Amino acid sequence: MRHVAPRVSLIIATYNWPQALALVLARVRTQWTMPFEVLIADDGSRDDTRAVIDRERSRLPVPLVHVWHEDTGFRLAAIRNKAIAAARGDYILQIDGDILLHPGFVQAHAAFARPGSWVQGSRALLERPITERLLAGETVAITPLTPHVTYRQNAFYAPWLSRFVGGPTDGTQRIRGAHMAFWRTDLLRVNGYDEAMEGWGREDSELATRLVNAGVLRRNLKFSAVCFHLWHRQASNEAVERNHELFLRTVRERRTRCERGVDQYLSSAEGVA
């Protein structure tokens, strides 16, 4: 059967780092295959982030949607759910607002997508010196051999190798919410992110585990959807222990659906601009 590429909704999570978001959106404009739409999942940023988004609307050849809620603390699960609810594509490609994309990133995901599965991607890391140069407006050619790039194996663009990638098949190992992809129908089936998980940590692993418990196959993508993670200081991990207990409950009880999830936003366009 001939593969039919899905309509990709690219969701970018951000919070009060407009300089990084501008770099990310500039890389989106270079994509060989554009997403169907771009949605900014904004966890309560100030007006300077909104100004970046408004400016980029005239530059992107696809719709750019700003999904925002009030800043009442780290609520990444909630803002991602709101963006998923607002998405009009059938495939959700999710990154953070500090992830710089190779030009073939969206194209690779559209080609790799298969019904009945979700995708865990990889990323190379950019250390502080190269991140600061990029934020200062320098043009930096980033390759696997560029100084201050770590996890260099994830920086190689060699699409023919993607078919040979193995890796974990569950939702507990090597989960990185900064680079994942899902069919929207699968996310709705498990009710998206669990909003009982507030504060940084484990919300991505908990969602991944519910998807696997629901029979959605995990696939791992390397060497074609290449991306680079800007350096930043570690977020507060005060909530990790509590969130980890919720994650362990999902593992133990083999839960497939959360109570406070995306379904509460599906009939409302509130927060969408």
pLDDT, tens digit (0-9, with 9 covering 90-100), for 168-193: 999 888 899 899 999 999 999 999 99
The CATH class for the domain spanning 8-265 reads alpha beta
- How large is the average pLDDT for residues 64-76? 96
- How large is the average pLDDT for residues 81-96? 98
* pLDDT of 269: 45
- How large is the average pLDDT for residues 12-32? 98
Q: Which tens digits make up the pLDDT trace of 78-88? A: 999 999 999 99
* pLDDT of 21: 98
Residue 273 pLDDT more than 60? no
95 touches 179 (CB < 8 A): yes
* Range of lowest pLDDT (32-41, 192-201, 235-244): 235-244
Residue 271 pLDDT more than 60? no
The sign of the dihedral angle between the CA atoms of 99, 38, 65, 197 is: negative
* pLDDT of 156: 95
Residue 268 pLDDT more than 80? no
Higher pLDDT, 239 or 5: 5
* pLDDT of 1: 52
Residue 29: pLDDT band with limits 50, 70, 90 = very high
Domain ranges of the chain: 8-265
Residue 200: pLDDT band with limits 50, 70, 90 = confident
